[in-house]
Every structure is written in C-alpha cells, then in structure tokens.
Structure 1
Amino acid sequence: MTTTVPKIYSFAEFAGVADAVADHVVAAQNQALTNSIPSSTHNSSSSTGQTPNASSTNLKNGKSKKEKVVNKRFKIAISGGSLIGVLSQGLLERDDVQWGKWDVYFADERLVPFDDENSNYGNAKRQIFDKLEAMGKEMPQIYHIDESLLDDAQELADDYEKTLIKGFANKDSVRLPLFDLFLLGCAPDGHIASIFPNDHAVLREKLAWVVPVENAPSGPKRRITLTVPVICHSHRVTFVVEGAVKASIVKVIMERPEKGLPASVVNELAAGRVTWFVDKAALTETYL
C-alpha cells in the first residue's frame, strides 16, 4: 500500500472541530442539492420523518428542470460515537441546514434496542433528531435498522441492504450506493464504522453492501456495518477524530499505511475525496 496523505484540518479545541465539520457538511449539502446531475429516483419510505417524493426527477411527467433541482436529496451516512456530539454542536443552531432535504443512513449499528445507550440511531435521535423536532425544524428522512430483527445479524444486514437498494435504485442497475457525504469517526483500536482491524473477512468484503459482525472485540458484540467499497464510493469521505486517546492510532493510520488499518485502506481507495478533521490532541504523535 502506498502512502496516501488525505487533507487534514486540525484545531486547538473541540469547538473548532465542530464548527469546521458543520461548514464541511453544509458545503456538501449545497453541492448535492444544486448539482446539475439528476438525482436517482427516490421511491422508498422510512419509519421516521416525511414521505419522499418518488416522482421528483421524472421530466416526462412535466417536471421542469427547476422543480427537479428543488426535489434533490442530500444523501449522508453517519457513524456513531463522539461524531454524534460533534454534529449536534455544530449543526443544530445553523439556519443554512436544509434538514428536510436530507436522507440520513447509518454507517453501522449495534444490535441493541433503540433506547440502549449503545444504539447509534438512538443516540442520534436523542442528540439531534429529537432536538430538531422540539425546535420546530423540518425533519430529515431517517433510515435506521428494523428493531424487530435484532436477534439475527445476517437477516438484519440483508434487510438494511434492501433499504439502501430502495434509496439508491435497484442493485442490478447500481453497482454501489453513492453517498454525497460519508461521515466516520475512528476508535482508539482503529475500527471505523464496525469494521475492525483484524476482521479480515469484513475488511476485504467486495460484493455485499452491508454485512453482519458477530463477535466485535469491543463494545456490543453483534452489529452490522456498511462495507469498505460502499464507503469509498462516496463523493466525500470525512473522518472526525478528537482526543489524545486517539493520537497513537492516528499516527499508525497516517505514517504506517502498510499496516492495513481500515482508515488507511479508505485513505488509499478513496484518495482525493478523503478529509480529516482533528483536534491538536489527536495529532500529538503524528509527523505531518
């Protein structure tokens, strides 16, 4: 593996990271909603939020180009952990976030009930979506796992892949889903989403969009995760990492890509589309 250094923005404090990430997210949103390339037909529904317009891109039915732009969607994937707090702090008070045009998917999920503190959707709901509703703002489309399938990781992975297929057109016609922005954190052990450094089967998965994880080495054992090809196919891939506890793993990711940590693999495969937002504490051991 060659050394591929992504764009890295560092800030002295957490607040600086949150504000910069928010700017980055809004820039990605604006690009997605104004891009002249027609968006894919959006014909699925979610259990939370408003019902999307399935005919937004059908010019044959009399839709004008202007109407097509208005009905574009911003497709974003988010992971859990501290990233949720970063997004909450950076985005909630802004008036340029078009929440009603967002389609929010999850990079991974732990197989726990939504009211469990380890649920990525549950944490996002409590820290972001519930607050949006209380503020009277438009709600995004939120695509979470089916809570009734927690007993079977493979069935849940298959079901969430079907959710992606509905949101990004048929799998037969679309090789991979194309997110406008894929947001990730990075844990001290080097895992991203629920792709762990020594889980070679998941790390090397080439065909599936979503796979089960049955024995995660930390946190809840049973999970599902979107795969490396899905992550790397995104228009933008963004890592948000903060804290001195992450310093040693950031050093390995940036300086020893041959170790093959998941984030290093993404840096390589999505080269030119990867951005890192970090605080100074996370870079204390890294020479860049």
Structure 2
Amino acid sequence: MTTTVPKIYSFEEFAGVADAVADHVINAQNQALSSISPNNNSSTSSSSSSRKGSQVQSELNISNISNKSNTESIETLNSSSQLSSTKSSSNISKSSSKKEKIVNKRFKIAISGGSLISVLSQGLLKRDDVQWDKWDIFFADERLVPFSEKDSNYGIAKAEIFDKLAAQGKPSPKVYHIDESLINDAQEAADEYEKTLIKNFANKDSVRLPLFDLFLLGCAPDGHIASIFPNDHEVLREKLAWVVPVENAPSGPSRRITLTIPVICHSHRVSFVVEGAVKASIVQLIMERPEKGLPASVVNALAAGRVSWFVDKAALSECY
C-alpha cells in the first residue's frame, strides 16, 4: 500500500478538538449549501476564534499554527450563483431554476458512534451557525440493539444531540436510522438501510455510490472504524454493496451493520476524530505502518487528499 499521510490537526485538550471539528463541519455545511462545489483537495477546517492548535505535516512533525486559528485557515466561500437581472427571459428562467435548486440543497453527513457523539455535542450545540433543518444525518454503522440501550449509536446521538436541540428550541435535522424492528436480522437490517440510502441518493442503477458531503469517523483502540474490523477481510474487500451485515464483531455487540469502504471513500470529505492516550498506539500504527492494511489506513490511501484527522496530543503521543 502506498504511504499516504493525511492532514492531521492536534490539540492539547478535548475541548480544542471539539471546537475545531465544529468549525470543520460548519465549513462543509456551508460549502454543501452554497452553489460552489466542494474542493476535493481541501480537508482543512476554519476557525474565527483564538484557540491554539497545531498541524502535523506529512512527515508527522508538529508545527505551531497562528494563534488566530486552531487549524489552517480557509478562505470564506461565497456563493457564485448570482445571475444578472438584465439577462433575457430564458436566462431569468434558468436563474430561477438554479436558485430553486440552491434553496433545496441539503447537507448530507454520515456519523459514527462512540466518543464522536460527545465531540459533536460539545462543539456544535453552542453554535448559532448550524443550519440543522437542512441536514440529512445518516449513520456510518449501527449496533443492532434496541435504541434504548447505551450501545445504540442512534440512541446515544438522540440523547446527546437531537433531544438537546429540541430542548433548545432549535430546528431538527432529518435523521435516518435503521429499522429497530430488524435488529435480530443483520442481513435484512443492512438491506433496508441500503434502500434508505438509495432513496436519498437516487436510484442505485444511476448512482454507483452515495456521495456524502462529510463522513465523520472515530477509531477504536483495536483499529476498527464504523463497524469495519481489521481482520474482517470480507467486509474490508467489499466492492459493490453500500451496507453490509456484521455478524460476529470481536468487541461490543456482535451483530451490526456498516457502510462499506467504497462508500466512505467516495465522500467529498472524510474526517477522523480521535482522542485519548488509549488510542496512541493504534494511531501510530495507522500513520507509520500503512502496509498493515488497517481500515483507517485503507481510507487514508483510497481517499487521499480528502482525509483529515482531528486528534488531541495524547492520541498522537507515540507518533514520531
């Protein structure tokens, strides 16, 4: 496997990660909802605060970033869809149609579970520039347990984000979760969730893969991302399906579904959010030994140029 080191943004504490991820998400939102197509070579995040952070360059050497930003600054993206009002009637008609499409644009984001939910809750709920009512939220994976259980990704997200939005009187996003009645049949649950994706990303015959504006992932100490585990070669090598069942996960609930590597890597942006010293050894392995073929290393390579990592210093402590 070709060595591919993504952009890595490191922060002293968890709060810095949460705020930077919020900046990154909102930047992706703004680009998705504007008429400007996202730049696939840009996976940085913007910040208008004075938080301090650092970017790890391709050699994994940590360098300080200006105190004015906790990540590389990004130019503010403004809509370029304005058409002259002096155009002919046919051009005015085209302009109206184009504006209608812009109004109807949605921000399509996939999220995994675990500590990522806390990062999003802490970083996004306090912001006033999140256009929640224009969000379509999908799940990168799901543990097939009742939503009321602590292992349910949707259940955690509902408690930490969606219920709190309602309590704050903020608009609600559209949330696409699994059919809870199918938790005893992983294959059927996967098939039904794939149908949900097909419905939202057009007919599968005309769209090879769904195209998310942003795909957010964590990474567990054992190296699994979403519910793609390091030694599950069948899932790792899946090329056609959008969603697959996982019957014997080696940790946590054994029965799951997960979106596949091709779906993840087809996204406009893929971002990993990792924190804590317990993740340090796996982060080192991912970054320094890509030939091991860990799921995150595969994503780093296949989505090269569109991948970013947001980590605290503890998670990066074993990288040279």
TM-score by length of 1: 0.90
**1:99 equivalent in structure 2:** 132
Following the alignment from structure 1 to structure 2, what is the Cα–Cα distance between the partners of residues 69 and 162? 26
In structure 1, the residue corresponding to 2:273 is in which secondary structure? strand
Which 5+ residue runs of structure 1 have no aligned equivalent?
A: 38-58
Amino acid at match of 1:252: L
In structure 2, the residue corresponding to 1:16 is in which secondary structure? helix
**2:143 equivalent in structure 1:** 110
Q: 1:145 aligns with which of 168, 178, 199?
A: 178
Which 5+ residue runs of structure 2 have no aligned equivalent?
A: 38-91
In structure 2, the residue corresponding to 1:64 is in which secondary structure? helix
Q: Does 1:18 align with 2:21?
A: no
Percent of matched pairs sharing the same residue: 83
Residue 67 (structure 1) shift:
2.3
Q: 2:103 aligns with which of 58, 70, 91?
A: 70
In structure 1, the residue corresponding to 2:314 is in which secondary structure? helix
Aligned residue pair count: 266
Following the alignment from structure 1 to structure 2, what is the Cα–Cα distance between the partners of residues 94 and 173? 37
Deviations 1:17-63 (A, max 9, x none): 000000000000000000346xxxxxxxxxxxxxxxxxxxxx99995
Residue 71 (structure 1) shift:
1.3
Following the alignment from structure 2 to structure 1, what is the Cα–Cα distance between the partners of residues 222 and 35? 38
**1:161 equivalent in structure 2:** 194
Following the alignment from structure 1 to structure 2, what is the Cα–Cα distance between the partners of residues 269 and 199? 18
In structure 2, the residue corresponding to 1:76 is in which secondary structure? strand
RMSD: 1.4
TM-score by length of 2: 0.81
Residue 199 (structure 1) shift:
0.2
Amino acid at match of 1:239: F
Q: Cα gap change, 1:170/1:60 in structure 2, threshold over 3 Å: closer, same or farther? A: farther
Deviations 1:39-94 (A, max 9, x none): xxxxxxxxxxxxxxxxxxxx999953222212100000000000000000000010
**1:279 equivalent in structure 2:** 312
Q: Does 1:130 align with 2:130?
A: no
In structure 2, the residue corresponding to 1:234 is in which secondary structure? coil
Amino acid at match of 1:231: I
Q: Does 1:30 align with 2:63?
A: no
Following the alignment from structure 2 to structure 1, what is the Cα–Cα distance between the partners of residues 18 and 152? 22
Q: 2:285 aligns with which of 248, 252, 255?
A: 252
* Equivalent residue runs for 1:196-207 within 5 Å: 196-207=229-240
